[in-house]
Structure 1
């Protein structure tokens, strides 16, 4: 059981500490990257979070939620600190420029997937920090709305509103990344279909 594992880790049992670290490092790293969109910063956050959590296990109160929820809360707070320390717009534009690579003269078989990945990255980058936090926690980490509200420190209704807002913003951003002519061509095809005999 995790509770027993945490008890042993609180007693500074090295095997238990190592097991807790290995069990939770990837979810923490995934969440941090989902919010920050930077592998180096996400790795830094993961290390900070795991060191803080394992060093101060006495601060975890199981009556207030699962251990993973406590880690999610620490991770979100650390990511917010990171975002406050950098100029988000400058970071975002630099990131998008980096992703805007030249296409090879002979397209590779997976070029369509590369383009899709870039569009997803651009769409996520267009979200606000709060929207990205909510979306990653809800859709990637699969938290319930109650857990999401607990991690973000907001009422359940506010958590739901943030998820809805993030989903709508992501859809708009995704449509905005569509190659020129894509929407027009699709609309034309749909129009032809409507008038077909």
Structure 2
């Protein structure tokens, strides 16, 4: 996709000019595609699994789009919730069916494309190590850390995950302590 069609102002014009729910959905999803990609990278290490998850999230978001109410929440919050629910369901289903994937070694992790679009640098080793630890967390804790790392507010995290803001604060504090210990 070229930069001209992905500029925020261009996407906003496409959303407001959308004639149909399909066009509106497509424009809004394009504007917030980074959410879907971050969730996919946070939950899947294999490219084919990430592609499947991105498609599943898109399909589920489209099925749920008629229930989206922009007076109750922002599209980004709603999409995070849909994406996390799909990702967590896939993790649970995979565990239920005893589907195990081989762990990626450091060389394979280094070969992964950067979901932020930035190049690799010396700090990537620490980031890969952080995501390797996050990958071992329980699904809810993993979702919480991914949202925290995406700089979402405690209120927004609570809304997305369906837990109280105080629970978010407590869990983040405990997870940060745990991650510090594992990364030390």
1:50 corresponding residue in structure 2: 58
2:3 corresponding residue in structure 1: none
Give the TM-score normalised by the residue count of structure 2: 0.70
CA distance in 1, matches of 2:46, 2:175: 20
Give the TM-score normalised by the residue count of structure 1: 0.66
1:24 corresponding residue in structure 2: 32
CA distance 1:6–1:54, change in 2 (3 Å): farther
- Report if aligned partners of 1:138, 1:144 keep a CA contact under 8 Å in 2: yes
Please tell me whether residue 86 in structure 1 is matched to residue 94 in structure 2: yes
**1:162-192 Cα shifts (integer Å, max 9, x gaps):** 21122111111112xxxxxxxxxxxxxxxxx
What is the total number of aligned residue pairs between the two structures? 162
Q: CA RMSD in A?
A: 3.4
Matching of residues 127-138 of structure 1 within 5 Å: 127-138=137-148
Task: Return 5+ residue gaps in structure 2 as ranges.
Answer: 1-8, 109-119
Matching of residues 24-173 of structure 1 within 5 Å: 24-87=32-95, 91=100, 94-95=102-103, 98-101=104-107, 115-140=125-150, 142-173=151-182
**1:75-128 Cα shifts (integer Å, max 9, x gaps):** 111111111122399847x31xx31559xxxxxxx9966654543343223433
CA distance 1:7–1:54, change in 2 (3 Å): farther
Q: CA deviation at 1:152?
A: 0.6
Task: Return 5+ residue gaps in structure 1 as ranges.
Answer: 103-109, 176-197
CA distance in 1, matches of 2:18, 2:167: 37
CA distance 1:166–1:59, change in 2 (3 Å): same
Instruction: Kindly name which structure, 1 or 2, has the bigger radius of gyration based on alpha carbons.
Output: 1
CA distance in 1, matches of 2:174, 2:181: 11
CA distance in 1, matches of 2:22, 2:126: 46
- Report if aligned partners of 1:25, 1:46 keep a CA contact under 8 Å in 2: no
CA distance in 2, matches of 1:130, 1:152: 8
Q: CA deviation at 1:138?
A: 1.3
Most deviating of 129-138 and 149-158: 129-138
Q: Secondary structure at the residue paired with 2:82? A: helix
Q: Secondary structure at the residue paired with 1:87? A: helix
CA distance in 1, matches of 2:67, 2:121: 48
CA distance 1:80–1:63, change in 2 (3 Å): same
CA distance in 2, matches of 1:121, 1:139: 11
